[in-house]
Structure 1
Amino acid sequence: MMNRMRLLVVLMLFAVVPAMAQEAPATAETPESIRKRNETDQRVYQLAIRYNDMAVARTKLMELIERNPTNSRYGELLATLYFDTNQFSAAALSALDVLQINDRSIEALEIAAYSLEQIGALDRSLTQFERLYLLTDDIFALYKSAYLQFSLKKFDEAMNSINMLVKNAKSAEEKLGFPISDTENQEVSMRAAALNLKALVYVEQGSKEDARKAYQEALALEPDFKLAKDGLNDLN
């Protein structure tokens, strides 16, 4: 009986050894091995971009992100790939992930703002445009903030942003394009565009005379501004 029990114990030990071997932790990668894998993936990514193979490029960036979770640059590149191929939901999500790592990433803020606007998440888009303006002092981001505030019926906030735009010296120089037909755009100064938006706010608030004055101010700056002309005619 004793011999049989010893044999049983031995057999059980042999059964346990392979299981323990399977559960043994994998050897951790060294910094040098990670660096080499990164370099290989970066080369493959660059080749994929050169050959316009976006699927491979995205895969390699995801591998780089997984291996280097604190490096926001790989996430910025991935968000850009999604955005450039009009995959706005994925672009927004990947850009927001980058902002969790680096909340001052201008590239991620821009992609998140525009992508969220494209998918109809206007409140969240507005937040990103407002942050973008605070970080960059870019008056186009301020105009987008004003327009989204108007779209969301946040009229007091919109008016505050518009007044900031009108007072900004750069708004007289920088241009903004508006479609006037299926094939043609019209460029006007940012200041004239802001005054046209101001008129729209007044229209929504039922202040026709204030709207008329704002349209007239826009046309004084840009006499051929079609949107302002049409808006003024609609008041008559």
Structure 2
Amino acid sequence: MIKRVLVLLLLAISSGSVVAQTANDSLPRLESKTKNALNVADQLAYQAALRYNDLDVAKIKLFDLMVRNPEDLRYMEALGSLYFESGQNASAALVAMDILKVNDKNVGALEIAAYALEQLGAFDRALPYYESLNLLTGDNFSLYKSAYLQFSLKRYAEALNSVNMLVKNAKADEKIGFPISETETQQISMKAAALNLKGLIYLDQNAKTEAKAAFTEALSLESNFLQAKENLQKSN
């Protein structure tokens, strides 16, 4: 199923965004008053659909607004958010990538593209969006995600560079969640999380001495860090 979704995603990416092109080439031009009246009606219907949790109708109204107003990215942004919040990751990623073709510094679209593609297992496609997000915002969470994906793709030198930057720049009040059960998450400091990831990078390369040192340092910061404890045992 995941492979099928990724194939469809790649086909859609290669075809490019057709919303604006179709709207500009095929639709008759509306008088300003008519266009404004239709926009107001669709916006009211969209808001009502959200209020009554009818997401299908909300999406339809957004499509109408997008086709009628191809230059206004707000409607695509809202559609991408709806897809993302409802777990439709392939659709969310496609919308976000179309937005980024127009504005490659759109932070919301970068976040959605990165996370949605990661959830689809397309790590190599998600990584550039996390990296762009970090360069644009300086956000340490996106730097952590970049390091994790680099590690997952076995790009060890890049992953270690990202982790070392994170260890240096992590703020004391920054936390990241690690699942410890289906319903529970353990909040861990960003620096300790980065050190744990550093240990995993070394462990994956069978450098157990370096891995053990990294896990030990992570536990010196967060003594109850369950993942680091488990990983430390693996490095012995």
Taking structure 1 as the reference length, the TM-score comes to: 0.86
Counterpart for residue 106 of structure 2: 105
Query: 1:176·1:189 contact (CA, 8 Å) conserved in 2?
Result: yes
Q: 1:26 to 1:184 in 2, by over 3 A?
A: closer
Deviation of residue 33 (structure 1)?
2.1
Counterpart for residue 20 of structure 1: none
Deviation of residue 169 (structure 1)?
4.2
Deviation of residue 31 (structure 1)?
2.4
Counterpart for residue 70 of structure 1: 71
Q: Deviations over 1:20-60 (max 9, x none)?
A: xxxxx996312232222111111110001001111110001
Q: Distance in 2 between matches of 1:149 and 1:28?
A: 48
Percent sequence identity over matched residues?
55
Taking structure 2 as the reference length, the TM-score comes to: 0.86
Deviation of residue 155 (structure 1)?
0.6
Q: Distance in 2 between matches of 1:69 and 1:26?
A: 11
Counterpart for residue 29 of structure 1: 30
Deviation of residue 104 (structure 1)?
1.4
Alignment map for 1:61-210 (pairs within 5 Å): 61-170=62-171, 172-210=172-210
Query: 1:72·1:102 contact (CA, 8 Å) conserved in 2?
Result: no
Counterpart for residue 215 of structure 2: 215
Query: 1:149·1:155 contact (CA, 8 Å) conserved in 2?
Result: yes
Q: Distance in 1 between matches of 2:77 and 2:163?
A: 31
Q: Secondary structure at the match of 2:178?
A: strand
Counterpart for residue 8 of structure 2: none
Letter in 2 for 1:116: L
Deviation of residue 234 (structure 1)?
1.5
Q: 1:27 to 1:114 in 2, by over 3 A?
A: closer
Larger RCO, structures 1/2 (Cα 8 Å, 6+ apart): 2
Q: 1:46 to 1:209 in 2, by over 3 A?
A: same
Letter in 1 for 2:139: D
Point out the more displaced range, 182-191 or 43-52: 182-191
Q: 1:205 to 1:27 in 2, by over 3 A?
A: closer
Q: Secondary structure at the match of 1:82?
A: helix
Q: Secondary structure at the match of 2:183?
A: coil
Counterpart for residue 6 of structure 1: none
Report the structure number with the largest CA radius of gyration. Answer: 1
Q: 1:113 to 1:169 in 2, by over 3 A?
A: closer
In structure 1, stretches of 5+ residues that fail to align are 1-24
Q: Distance in 2 between matches of 1:168 and 1:215?
A: 19
Q: Distance in 2 between matches of 1:77 and 1:101?
A: 16
Counterpart for residue 17 of structure 1: none
Q: Distance in 2 between matches of 1:163 and 1:204?
A: 17
Q: 1:231 to 1:28 in 2, by over 3 A?
A: closer
In structure 2, stretches of 5+ residues that fail to align are 1-25
Point out the more displaced range, 131-140 or 95-104: 95-104
